[in-house]
Amino acid sequence: MDSPSRFILENRAWAEEMDQLQPRFFEQLAGGQQPDVFWIGCADSRVPAERITNAAPGELFVHRSIANLVLHDDNSVMSALQYAVEQLKVHHLIVCGHDGCGGVRAALMPEDGAANDEGDALAQRIRPLRALYRQHQYEVHGSDARDEEGLARWVDRLVTLNVASQVRSLADTATVRAAWRRGHGLRLHGWVYGLRNGRLREVLTLDARTSNLANAA
């Protein structure tokens, strides 16, 4: 049995189980969503937001993409952010990266000809990561040799730096700054998920008081 066929069968089994455990579960879900969290995570299949937080359906409004980047010219994440803040009225924005991120690792690799090809979507996607790496190159390298173990530590350091950078990028969006000016108590969180132990760790938290961008412009 192929994966899509198995997923259909698993879905039916899950729906029947939920009907038995919580008879009004789907009726309540159909009535609308009221999540308190907008989650910006990596598209990596090993980091499902609801599973690693044990969140129920309706608790997280989720946007996932390669390397959990918050790019101001990315209409997908910007429109989701606007909807989450202005329509759903969430109070928390979480950027969650993860150790061993493939997108971050790719940004550490030497560029080839494809990286300069405007038609290469992956190369274009990780350009901001390459720039972040160049900015913090010595911090990323530390004292590690460029062997497999050392490279893994480089990746994890850049993952952490990237999460912090994306939280600050969130703080500088028009949507967040407008919300703060309105008095909306948004809090921005940067987390990293450890693939080796299943634990989340906090990188930083910003709000209207602690962000020096909150009152800009």
pLDDT along the chain (217 residues), means of 10: 95 95 93 96 97 96 98 97 98 98 94 62 93 93 79 94 98 97 96 97 95 51
CA pair distance 144, 140, nearest whole angstrom: 9
Domains of the chain: 1-32 (no CATH), 33-206 (3.40.1050.10)
CA 81, chain centre distance (Å): 12
Closest Cα partner for 94 from 187, 171, 162? Answer: 187
Buried b (16+ CB within 10 A) or exposed e, 114-144: ebeeeeeeebebbebbbebbeeeeeebbeee
Residues 43-55 as b or e (16 or more Cβ within 10 Å = b): ebeebebeebbeb
Beta strand 60-65 pairing with 92-98: unpaired
Q: What angle in degrees, to the nearest 10, is found between the helix axes of 148-171 and 127-135?
A: 100
The reported pLDDT for the residue numbered 183 is 94
What's the confidence (pLDDT) of residue 117? 56
Positions marked catalytic: 42, 44, 46, 98, 101
